Amino acid sequence: MKELVVISGKGGTGKTSITAAFASLAQDFVLADCDVDAADLHLVMNPKINNKQDFSGGRQAVIKAGECIGCGVCFDMCRFGAISLNGPANETINKTYTVDPVSCEGCNVCVEFCPVGAIEFKDAINGQWFISETRFGPMVHAKLGIAQENSGKLVTLIRKEAKRIAEEQIKNLLIVDGSPGIGCPVIASIAGADLVLVVTEPTLSGIHDLDRVMQLTSNFGIKTLVCINKADINLEMTERIEEESQAKGTKVIGKIPYDESFTKAQIMRATLIEYTGGEIAEKVKSMYREIIYALG
Ligand SMILES: Nc1ncnc2c1ncn2[C@@H]1O[C@H](COP(=O)(O)OP(=O)(O)OP(=O)(O)O)[C@@H](O)[C@H]1O
Ligand code: SF4
Ligand code: SF4
């Protein structure tokens, strides 16, 4: 089984649209949405959820009801301002404190120093992940709660589950919509993959981000290909990306023009390939053929 991960140096380059189009073209595959911080592949895939599980990315302090004696030690010691006094600040008797689950960084300090052991450490529920069925095949995806961290851990979990399903159902391909950027979630998206496709735009920030992301894939020793999306919005930049990629030994396998069909397809909750044929679809198909060839 081979694994293709589609990433981008920054958000909004068209990574998800391209991944969705590949889902229309691929056979015998499992789809994984690892863009967990801004998951939107499900909008086009319309998955039917078969299995839903909570995701816990870490632990959090919780003050046990009725056990706090109001000494304020935890309030003074929490460096993240996660503990607040219940009721008015001039309260002198029956003082109690609460932990704000969004601000708690799980450092354990308050648990250690509470003189009466009134604080416990509990698994924090940071989101949910799902195993679903789509019109194209199985899909593993997730929903991370607002302001929740540890998305790298969730990405690793999703890839692992998607691989398990692919092996169980004897699928020969795993297509991953990876995280944008170069941080922890994208590292978790690409580590150990067979091939990475970087979707970029011909803009200054696009070039800058492409450079950083290619440095990352090169550090991991992963075979990397480039797609310049909306290539005709700046032909000079497109040429520069081609030259710089070539100098680094990375092939630009597709130059996809700006085409409103992408947005129209998204509005219809369809992939580009489902929405339209013609030249634009042919360009995406040709890119997909190159990928399959490169995967070997
Ligand atoms: N070639 C194209 N021509 C015109 N519009 C496009 C093209 N490719 C993508 N788009 C549009 O650009 C927007 C961003 O695309 P998409 O959501 O696929 O990007 P993304 O990189 O996955 O973004 P995010 O990181 O926010 O999920 C969408 O409105 C999409 O319809
Ligand atoms: S340290 Fe313990 S007893 Fe003191 S205020 Fe915090 S929770 Fe209450
Ligand atoms: S675990 Fe750390 S961050 Fe969380 S409330 Fe306690 S002291 Fe603050």
Confidence of residue 11 (pLDDT cuts 50, 70, 90): confident
The mean pLDDT of 290-295, rounded to a whole number, is: 96
The mean pLDDT of 220-225, rounded to a whole number, is: 95
174 Cβ neighbours under 8 A, 6+ residues apart: 1, 2, 3, 4, 29, 30, 32, 159, 162, 163, 166
Q: Which residue's CA is the nearest one to ligand 1's atom 8? A: 14
Q: Select 59-124's CATH number: 1.10.240.10, 3.20.20.70, 3.30.70.20, 3.30.1370.140.
A: 3.30.70.20
Q: Running DSSP on this structure, what letter comes out for residue 30?
A: E
User: Could you give the 3-state DSSP secondary structure of residue 49?
Assistant: strand
Worst-scoring range by mean pLDDT, 45-54, 99-108, 158-167?
99-108
Q: CA-to-CA distance for 152 and 35, rounded, in angstroms?
A: 10
Angle at CA of residue 194, ends 190 and 196, nearest 5°: 55
Closest-lying ligand 3 atom to the alpha carbon of residue 77 = 7
Q: What is the reported pLDDT for 91?
A: 63
Q: CA-to-CA distance for 61 and 120, rounded, in angstroms?
A: 6
Q: Is the ipTM of this complex over 0.90?
A: no
184 compared with 76, residue with greater pLDDT: 76
Predicted confidence (pLDDT) at residue 75 exceeds the cutoff of 80: yes
Q: Kindly report the number of other CB atoms within 10 A of residue 137's CB atom.
A: 20
Q: Select 2-56+126-295's CATH number: 3.40.50.720, 3.40.50.300, 3.20.20.80, 3.40.50.11890.
A: 3.40.50.300
The mean pLDDT of 51-56, rounded to a whole number, is: 94
Domain ranges in the chain with CATH number 3.40.50.300: 2-56+126-295
Domain ranges in the chain with CATH number 3.30.70.20: 59-124
According to DSSP, the β-strands at 195-200 and 2-8 are parallel
Confidence of residue 28 (pLDDT cuts 50, 70, 90): very high
Predicted confidence (pLDDT) at residue 194 exceeds the cutoff of 80: yes
- 271-288: pLDDT as tens digits: 999 999 999 999 999 999
Please tell me if the CB atom of residue 118 comes closer than 6 angstroms to any atom of ligand 2: yes
The mean pLDDT of 125-147, rounded to a whole number, is: 91
Residue 201 tokens, joined: 């735009």
Give, to the nearest 10 degrees, the angle between helix 15-25 and helix 278-295: 80
Q: What is the reported pLDDT for 147?
A: 60
Ligand with the closest atom to the CA of 262? 1
- 233-249: pLDDT as tens digits: 999 999 999 999 999 88
Confidence of residue 124 (pLDDT cuts 50, 70, 90): confident
Give the bridge partners for 256, in sequence order.
Answer: 229
Q: CA-to-CA distance for 197 and 217, rounded, in angstroms?
A: 10
Predicted confidence (pLDDT) at residue 43 exceeds the cutoff of 80: yes
User: Which of 97, 109, 120, 121 gets mutated to test ligand 3 (max ligand atoms within 8 A of its CB)?
Assistant: 109
Please tell me if the CB atom of residue 82 comes closer than 6 angstroms to any atom of ligand 2: no
Q: What is the reported pLDDT for 155?
A: 93
- From 113, 129, 133, select the one nearest 48 (Cα to Cα): 133
92 Cβ neighbours under 8 A, 6+ residues apart: none
CA of residue 116 to ligand 2 center, whole Å? 7
Confidence of residue 97 (pLDDT cuts 50, 70, 90): very high
Q: Kindly report the number of other CB atoms within 10 A of residue 64's CB atom.
A: 12
Q: Give residue 269's region: left, alpha or beta (phi > 0; psi -120 to 50).
A: left
The mean pLDDT of 182-201, rounded to a whole number, is: 92
